[in-house]
């Protein structure tokens, strides 16, 4: 069975929704990105399990800054059974300081390595097999540049 080509768009939307959640600070939106029992590894917080634990850690990490995350190079592979997929996505995240750090920023370049599963509930691209959620994510940094202090509480 060949993968549904519209599933690729749905997967892209899921990964993009992550960036929107971070930049708008709508952390409830992460429930439309990750499975309830997601397993993650972040360079700043180590391993986290569960969508609420991940959301809480990201919220704490990003509370002192405004941010803009962008996605670039991406490779998506949907399994032959159409029920799972893997995605590698490069990202750039710019974090803008507030308060005493106003006018300073730190930029991170890196990649998301994701395992996704098909869930047949929720909103999704018309014609896609269903909604896709990230069940495992590993984040790695290629480089960080700028004032790391912007990430600290005042």
Q: What is the pLDDT of residues 7-55, one digit of tens each?
A: 999 999 999 999 999 999 999 999 999 999 999 999 987 899 999 999 9
**Residue 40: its pLDDT value, please?**
98
With beta carbons less than 8 A apart as the criterion, state whether 8 and 23 touch.
no
Tell me the CATH number at 78: 3.10.450.50
Domain count, the chain: 1
DSSP 41-110: EETTTEEEESHHHHHHHHHHHHTTEEEEEEEEEEEEEE-TTSSEEEEEEEEEEEEEE-GGGTT-EEEEEE
* Residues 18, 12: Cα–Cα separation, whole Å: 10
Q: Which domain holds residue 86?
A: 5-151
**Residue 154: its pLDDT value, please?**
66
| pTM recorded for the entire structure | 0.95
């Amino acid at each position: 069975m060949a993968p549904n080509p519209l599933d690729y768009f749905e997967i892209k939307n899921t990964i993009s929704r992550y960036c929107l959640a971070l930049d708008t600070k709508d952390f409830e939106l992460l429930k439309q990105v990750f499975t309830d029992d997601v397993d993650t590894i972040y360079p700043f917080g180590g391993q986290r399990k569960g969508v609420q634990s991940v959301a809480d850690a990201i919220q704490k990490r990003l509370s002192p800054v405004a941010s803009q995350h962008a996605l670039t190079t991406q490779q998506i592979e949907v399994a032959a059974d159409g029920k799972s997929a893997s995605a590698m996505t490069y990202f750039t995240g710019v974090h803008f300081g507030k308060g005493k750090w106003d006018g300073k920023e730190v930029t991170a370049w890196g990649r998301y390595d994701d395992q996704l599963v098909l869930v047949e509930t929720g909103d999704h691209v018309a014609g896609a097999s269903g909604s896709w959620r990230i069940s495992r994510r590993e984040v790695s940094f290629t480089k960080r540049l700028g004032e790391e202090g912007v990430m600290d509480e005042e």
